Every structure is written in structure tokens, then in C-alpha cells.
Structure 1
Amino acid sequence: MPDSRPIDSLLERLAQRLLTAWVRHTRRPYLEFMFAGMGRIARSSGHVTPEYIAYGEAVMMRLNITNAEREQAIAWFRSGHDGNADLHQLAGRCNAGVGRTKNRDMLARMCLESFVAIAGVEPDTAANRTVHFLASLIGQDAANARRKHRAQQQRAEQSNAARAILGVSADAGMEEIKRAYRLLASRYHPDKLPANASEEECEFAVRRSIEVRSALEFLLDSGTDAEVNKAAA
């Protein structure tokens, strides 16, 4: 009986290439709208800052776009910034695109999240008024997206502060976080204070104990109470 594995492998690779081509074809209108929209936001804010450029580069890396798409994305951004892009027409292509509604909604949200991130969270700015305009073209809620983005920023800042209290890096895993907590909890435990400790030293130890416990609880917020209690044991 002939070995069908080479054929199966060939068909699998072909199917993957077709899927990749379909995904790229489906997302292309959204990529054009997104980068042109980002260019329009930069235009409304007055000028293209290094932060805009850095964010655009980060988006391209996250989307894993090809070199050809990268050059095209830069051209789309420029067309939006120069006022040459017809954003109504681009949005119409997105809204009329083929594919499942769920996929289209996901791509539309991707565009909006990029707009909100590059414009910032302050609502009363020309950049954010442009975001509201762009969101309306693809049926998205800019105010809600901005609230979510602000909440994510605040949580990231709180996470960084909690890690700083525990003395761990941003990429530290949960086990390292727990070890750091236990070390600090032991250091500031009332039983570890000398018998002649001053009132200020006692208050400092209590305050630090509360801080490190709160930091641990925040970082374990997505886990269970049992995990928090186990880590604090």
C-alpha cells in the first residue's frame, strides 16, 4: 500500500498557505484603515513624534507583517498623515469585507485599540476626537475602549509598583515573587524585631508587612484565595 504521508504533509502545507493567504487578504483592508487612521491621528495632534513612530513599529512587530506589508504600512500611515487617504472609503471596505462577523469585529477592535493607544487617554484632545471619528466609521465605541485602555494602564502601573515593593523584575515568575514575599515577610515579622526596638521601628515593620502582603495579593489577584494563603504561609 503506498505511503500517503508525503501527500498528507503536502496537503497540510498547502492548506496552511491558503489559510495564511486568506487571513492576509481578509485583514488587508483593516491594516490599511488602521495605519492610515494612525497617520490621521498624528496629523490631528500637530506632528509625528518619536512616540508615534515607536508605536507604529511595535504594531508592525506584533502583527508579524511581511517586509512588503511593512513598506505598504508606512505608505498608508503617510497617506493618512498627509490627508490623502479616503477614510470613509477604507472603512467601507472593512465593513463590507468577507468572512465571519466575529473575525471582522476582532479586526475592528484591533484597529480601535491601536487608535486609542497612540492617541492617549485624555478625551478632550484633537487626537481623541479623531479617534471617535474613526471608531464611528467601523461601528466601534471609542469611549468604552478608552476606559478599558486607561484601566489596563493603571493596572500595569500598579503591577510595576507591587513588583518594586517585592524587589522583583517585571519578568519574574510567580515562584520568584512568592520567594521574595516570604523573605520580606520574615524580615519584617514582629518576632524578628529586637526587644529594645523603638516605636518608630515597630511602626515601620508593621507598615512594610502590610505593603508586601498587599503587593503579593495584587499580583496573585488572578489566582485563587488558596494560592494567596499558600504563598503567605
Structure 2
Amino acid sequence: MTAAPEQLLKTVFGFPAFRPGQKEIVDRLLEGTHTLSVMPTGAGKSICYQLPALIAEHLTVVVSPLVALMNDQVAGLRANGVEAVCIHSNRPREDNVADWRRVQDGSIKLLYLSPERLMTERMLTALQGLDPAMFVVDEAHCISKWGFSFRPEYEALSNLRERFPGATLSAFTATADTATRQDIATKLFAGKGDIVVRGFDRPNLKLAVAPKTDRNKQLLDFVESRRDSSGIVYCLSRK
């Protein structure tokens, strides 16, 4: 597709305008700049790579850690008329084979894979023949040993820049402190890219910290004073 991002945002996804931070990430990826984007949950990270994927001439490969996430993303894209598929072991083999053929013939814009499947030599070799335009690493904090969700199979994604030197590398996460961001950027694109951190200011939320004196009484008083309100109480255990 050669339409402008703003037009696709409206016609494909049904949004009248970009949310804060989205447009600058879309522009970077369209320019071919390797980019790590740190945005809160619900800020619209998916749009930031899905739009460039629609505009790109070649395939975009999205790396996702969970089958459920892949299925949801693909279902949402298809509902909007976008050609997208996911290939994973929870699907019938014949469905995976049929969708891979569609990837090969160029009719698919976005291919969702787990890091384990992507980083097999067979898949990497097959993708090299397709010359992907972009790789997207979702839940990118999993690549960093500084992160609380480090996954060894994610660390292998650092080889993508050597196997696909012409592809744009992008990564998205809602959870990354400064050390984790630098680690992700170094591993994925040797620090030769941009780090964009946006959207964590929530003016509708108020934060407060109170010293603990009598925990149970404090909690009961807090709940009692908000008897007619909704809320969530987080606990260390079920006991």
C-alpha cells in the first residue's frame, strides 16, 4: 500500500488520529531507523508497526512470546482486512503449510512467529529468500537479562541484524528501565538506532504512599471509607 499513514489509520483501523507518540515511531520505522519503543499498555503500540508493515513492499515478521497474543493480533488484523498469519505448533500442520505458501507468494503482509520458531536455521534461511522489510520484537524486555522476564530464546534474536542487514529492526515493550532499554538496543541493533519512551504520564491517576503502622486496620479503614467505590487490592499471597 502507498497510502499515507494518516489515511490508513482511518480507513483500515478506524481511528481518526494518532495517539501521543505513535506518529513519531511510525515515521522512524518508515525511514528505516531501528527503534526501541517503550510505551504503556493501552497506548497503541501495535499500530506503530502495523501501519509501516502495510506500507512496506515486503514482509514484516513479528516475534511474539505467547500463542494467545499472536492469535489475537492476527484475528484483529484480519477483521480489518489485513492479510496476516501466525504459524505455531498449536495449529494443524496443514494450516501452517497453507499459510506459509501464502507468505512465500507475497500475499501476506505480517507473519507472527515465536522466537523459537523464527530462530531455527530452516526458518531463517527461508526468510532470507523473501527479503523481509522489518522485524518486530514484541515484549522486548524478554531479551534483556536486566529484565524480570528474561527468556534465553529471546537473546538469540540479536543475530537478526547480521542475517538480515537490510531489514529494519523494531522492538516494543511497556516494561523497561534505563538499563534494560540500553541492553535491548545493544543486543538488537548494536545501539545504532533510536530509543523512544512515551506516554507514561496519566493525569487521571493519583499515586500515594503511606507508612505502615497497623496493616490490617489501615486496610480495613481504607476499604471502609470507599465502601461504594470500585478498586483492586494486591496481596503477596492468597492466605
TM-score by length of 1: 0.31
> Which structure dedicates a bigger proportion of its chain to strand?
2
TM-score by length of 2: 0.30
> Which structure dedicates a bigger proportion of its chain to helix?
1
Structure whose alpha-carbon radius of gyration is higher: 1
